[in-house]
Structure 1
Amino acid sequence: MSNTSSSTPDDRIPVIVGVGEITDRPKEIAEGLEPLTLLEEALKRAEQDSGGKLLADIGSLDVVNFLSWRYRDPEKQLAQRLGIQPKHAYYGPVGGESPIRYLHEAAQRIARGECSVAAVCGAEAQSSATKAERAGVTLPWTPFAHDVEEPKRGAAFQKPMAVKLGVFRPVTVYPFYEVASSARWGQTPREAMAESGQLWSTYSGVASQNPNAWLKRRFAPNEITTPTADNRLIAWPYTKLMVANPTVNMGGAVLLTSLAKARAAGVPEDRLIHVWGGASAEEPRDYLLRDQFFESHPQNAVLKAVMDLVGGDGRAFDAIELYSCFPCVPKMARRTLGLSADVQPTVTGGLTFFGAPLNTYMTHAACAMVRKLRNGAQLGLLYGQGGFVTKHHALVLSRRAPREPLAQDTSVQAEADRHRREVPEFVTEANGKSSVESFTIIYGRNGEVEHGVVMLRTPDNARALARVPAQDRATLAHLLNMDRTPVGSSGNIVSAEDGVLEWRHP
């Protein structure tokens, strides 16, 4: 029997036994590996890493959604390639938190006795796909499944006005959190930018040491935050080096088994990593239905729940991965965890520098975390996030066996919702005085301002989105003042000829 709990048999104790990664940098475009091949290779490497023969016994297979190539039923095609018929074979929806969710659910399946071997894997080949399209090269891959519907993303869930103003993509929505949270913490925009630069520099330092990373170079904080021809502003306050880099070719896989199966397969004890548990919660997909943008109630609830698993103190984790699509996410998370600004927020390198194989970055983070724990760390936290600060999932891993059996009900949605304040009504018609809740400024590829977008509160506390035209230099200068946040400042709403609200300061 194991030392988890005398009542838990070894065939109900989930452990991670193998991790595998592949980074594909073909010399010729047509030699690039397609996502299905990357998945297969990553799984074979994970089996090799475990030291046992396990692929033939996979009873649970989760494939992270990929966007660089479209297949019909990729999970079935992968199973066929591997010569297996798993009872559970799933290809999921879009979401950066999904690898952590699948790992958690796979562990729960093992704990319920539904399977003895489970695999979670993801892959993207966006670099090859983009280069092939630009060069007019036909890739010798499984034919693109044009008849398969593209998964729903950003714009499908947002209000028409958000789409019209261009604030429906991650790079233009996360700034609302970036600006509102730093104002809430009493930072000037200059201080907030400095924190982002330092944080991202730390991520890049870890990527520079990760053999699987796409960009293996440490960037200095000011290199990250200073706009240049190569590091253009995309949406204030984000430069190119502050956003995720999806143009990569990568595959990652994690193999889980029961403790009994691991021992029977001859997996060495020093390879085993225990799954202690985790938590999940989410926000409404339409971000304008949220009460505010200076914190995330689901993020807070999820992180507090995983802290409870380790005695209530975020400092108990000696290895952490805080999701890093944009700086505001790990900045908010580390404060909720009660960690200082100099904390090491990643074991992987971040979505800018390690690379952002779209939804599957956290598969690679899980691989990096397993290696870190095998090399001496005791307690690891994996925190993944999807959408626009929308879906949150965290998982605790350890070299040590947990004291309690793995819980099956791990949603903390009720706790997240309990903190939610009244949501302001969204309006598209308003006039007169209004104050800034948050903002961003969208830039063209030439570095010129396209327009600003201000999220406003009207005198009767309704919420509106308003444009700031590129030619309104006074208002733009007010928004871009580095020594004083514009959040809470007042100005006038007017209606433009195209029916869109515009905002002017003073």
Structure 2
Amino acid sequence: MSDPARIPVIVGVGEVADRPDAPGRGPLGPEPAALMAEALRRADADAGGGFLGRLGSLDVVNAVSWPYADLSGRVANLIGHRPARLAYGPVGGETPVRFLHEAAQRIARGEAEVAAVCSGEAEHSASAARRAGFRPERDALPPWTAPDPAWTNPRVRDYLHPQALGHGLSQPVFVYPLYETACQAAWGQTPREGRAESAALWSAMSRVAAANPSAWLRRPVPPEEIAEPSPGNRPIAWPYPKLMVANPVVNQGAAVIVASFARARAAGLPEHRLIHVGPGAAASEPRDWLSRDAFDHAPAQDAVLAGALGRAGLAPADLAAIELYSCFPCVPKMARRSLGLPPETVPTVAGGLTFFGAPLNGYMAHAACAMVRRLREAAGEAGLLYGQGEFVTKHHALVLASRPLPAGIEPASAQDEADRRRGAVPPVAEAQAGRAVIETHTVLFDREGAPQKGVVVLRQGGARLLARVPAADHATLAALTDLDRSPVGLPGTVRPAPDGLAEWEIA
């Protein structure tokens, strides 16, 4: 048997969902740091108590809903203990999985006996405060921590290609649809069939969220309500309406405590409560999404999913539970196909980022909590956590199990395999007047559901470029939003517009 002092196990999980309609709640609710601290206290209680004071390492997931000067220090003050290692992470939906993996590796290397990961966002409260006229740059909201006047938003997109910025495709909600459209075409689906698959998948996730006490939206939603645009389900970016996109306007916190098996045994914890942290894998796509080889697959995703399971000695069919990141439907649909899972697979234990809620970078911490609860009821079984960040960019997968697993102490990188799987990348060119065909596309809508413009990714010769479809070009927009025919591969004419951007019209 391996050294019990070097075997990492999850001993406690804790979550908070601060609902504005909770009895006795004030008008504002707790700040993100307070949500994190409360989640850590609940995780400690779940572990039987006494672990917070032993923390040698604490990773705090990046929070965006409030401008802190030192968020990790604030959390440490609130729990009354400052670990020797106190870290604040970068932006990315994969970071909770990465932090959990790295915490386990530190224990496996003997660098810590107890470690924790926590996340928390209060975007619902912060949005309400802004609507009431408060501004973080000038106002403190007692009892919240005073805002940092030097704080800068970490979600700067200056690494994107000027064409992406010029056409406004600098937010995930406008880029993931490009993958959805390209994947539908590659899979031989009409947009209607792709929408139906997404709606059925999201409906299944809503049922999981409805049974999760920590979820934000706890109502099963039928597929037709998710698929069809309506006043409560307005179109956002084709082909996604509101009920197919992540919901960040929540107040939620989560925490996971990892300890050595020896420490857990010394604390008297029964073995069926201990969840083993096994191997994982990580890789990235080129950060500028226009520098990808294609939009109908993600080599880094494929390499990470295969790498984590391979290192654990598992096949996809061996998994009793799975959480595939679900900011937008294309992500779990791509991952399901990569893993070879059947279409009826429900790839969530928490409920997904639309219905459970999407506390920005923190969702996978909640997924880890749900996975631990699931595996505690499934003796000898294994589960997979897979998180993603930015624009299908950063990928991290991790295996957990209610039994010992192969050591996950080796470096997590699967980057070499991701790079090996990647095809040739077309150069990005300035528009040349003439013929160009659609590689993929989206259509952006206003709050009333009217098209603002289309944006097409085009191939012209061997090059790639972006072009706009004006709202007044009804014929081209109709082709882009035709539910019964994919526009991928359709030809048209590209020409420069007076503002210097390119415009495209269907042939």
* TM-score bracket for this pair, using the shorter chain length: over 0.9
What residue number does 2:137 align with? none
Residue of 9, 17, 20 corresponding to 1:23: 17
**Counterpart of 1:486 in structure 2: which amino acid?**
P
Alignment coverage as a number of residue pairs: 497
Aligned 8 A contact 1:118 1:257 in 2: yes
Aligned-pair CA distance for 1:29: 5.7
Aligned 8 A contact 1:52 1:267 in 2: no
Q: Cα deviation per residue 1:360-392 (whole Å; 9 max; x = unaligned)?
A: 000000000000000126111000000010000
What residue number does 1:32 align with? 29
* Aligned-partner Cα distance in 2 for 1:129–1:31: 8
Aligned 8 A contact 1:304 1:312 in 2: no
> Using a 3 Å threshold, how does the CA distance of structure 1 residues 316 and 223 change in structure 2: closer, same or farther?
same
Are 1:282 and 2:279 matched, yes or no? no
What residue number does 2:383 align with? 380
Aligned-pair CA distance for 1:315: 1.4
**Counterpart of 1:163 in structure 2: which amino acid?**
L
* Aligned-partner Cα distance in 2 for 1:30–1:71: 21
Greater alpha carbon shift after TM alignment, 98-107 vs 262-271? 262-271
What residue number does 1:3 align with? none
Greater alpha carbon shift after TM alignment, 17-26 vs 253-262? 17-26
Aligned-pair CA distance for 1:244: 0.5
Residue of 162, 185, 210 corresponding to 1:160: 162
Aligned 8 A contact 2:431 2:494 in 1: no
* Aligned-partner Cα distance in 1 for 2:354–2:82: 36
Matches within 5 A, 1:271-350: 271-311=273-313, 313-350=315-352
Residue of 8, 12, 19 corresponding to 1:14: 8
What residue number does 2:260 align with? 258
Aligned 8 A contact 1:29 1:132 in 2: no
Greater alpha carbon shift after TM alignment, 179-188 vs 75-84? 75-84
What is the TM-score of this pair, normalised by structure 2?
0.96
Residue of 394, 399, 403 corresponding to 2:402: 399
Greater alpha carbon shift after TM alignment, 99-108 vs 487-496? 487-496
* Aligned-partner Cα distance in 2 for 1:363–1:293: 28
* Aligned-partner Cα distance in 2 for 1:23–1:112: 34
Question: Secondary structure at the residue paired with 1:450?
Answer: strand
What residue number does 1:80 align with? 77
Aligned-pair CA distance for 1:188: 0.9
Matches within 5 A, 1:80-99: 80-99=77-96
* Aligned-partner Cα distance in 1 for 2:200–2:11: 35
Matches within 5 A, 1:122-271: 122-136=119-133, 139-140=141-142, 141-153=144-156, 155-271=157-273
Question: Secondary structure at the residue paired with 1:187?
Answer: coil
Aligned 8 A contact 1:314 1:338 in 2: yes
What residue number does 1:351 align with? 353
Aligned-pair CA distance for 1:211: 0.5
Aligned 8 A contact 1:17 1:272 in 2: yes
Question: Secondary structure at the residue paired with 1:156?
Answer: coil
Q: Cα deviation per residue 1:451-506 (whole Å; 9 max; x = unaligned)?
A: 000000002x1000000011111111111121111111111111111111111111
What is the TM-score of this pair, normalised by structure 1?
0.96
Question: Secondary structure at the residue paired with 1:151?
Answer: coil
* Aligned-partner Cα distance in 1 for 2:408–2:323: 21
Residue of 440, 443, 446 corresponding to 2:442: 440
Residue of 422, 429, 432 corresponding to 2:431: 429
Aligned-pair CA distance for 1:310: 4.7
> Using a 3 Å threshold, how does the CA distance of structure 1 residues 162 and 375 change in structure 2: closer, same or farther?
same
Q: Cα deviation per residue 1:259-278 (whole Å; 9 max; x = unaligned)?
A: 00111122222210001111
> Using a 3 Å threshold, how does the CA distance of structure 1 residues 29 and 51 change in structure 2: closer, same or farther?
closer
Question: Secondary structure at the residue paired with 2:300?
Answer: helix
* Aligned-partner Cα distance in 1 for 2:273–2:245: 34
> Using a 3 Å threshold, how does the CA distance of structure 1 residues 83 and 228 change in structure 2: closer, same or farther?
same
* Aligned-partner Cα distance in 2 for 1:429–1:301: 34
Matches within 5 A, 1:111-126: 111-126=108-123
Q: Cα deviation per residue 1:78-120 (whole Å; 9 max; x = unaligned)?
A: 2222232312211011000000000000000000000000000
What residue number does 2:104 align with? 107
> Using a 3 Å threshold, how does the CA distance of structure 1 residues 25 and 491 change in structure 2: closer, same or farther?
same
Question: Secondary structure at the residue paired with 2:399?
Answer: strand
**Counterpart of 1:320 in structure 2: which amino acid?**
I
Aligned 8 A contact 1:177 1:293 in 2: yes
Aligned 8 A contact 2:435 2:494 in 1: yes
Aligned-pair CA distance for 1:26: 3.5
Supply the RMSD in Å over aligned alpha carbons: 1.3
**Counterpart of 2:485 in structure 1: which amino acid?**
R
Name structure 2 gaps, 5 residues minimum: 135-139
Aligned-pair CA distance for 1:336: 0.6
Name structure 1 gaps, 5 residues minimum: 1-5
Question: Secondary structure at the residue paired with 1:318?
Answer: strand
Question: Secondary structure at the residue paired with 1:53?
Answer: coil
Question: Secondary structure at the residue paired with 2:343?
Answer: coil
Aligned-pair CA distance for 1:149: 2.6
Aligned 8 A contact 1:29 1:128 in 2: no
Aligned 8 A contact 2:44 2:52 in 1: yes
Aligned-pair CA distance for 1:312: 5.0
What residue number does 1:503 align with? 504
Aligned-pair CA distance for 1:396: 0.3
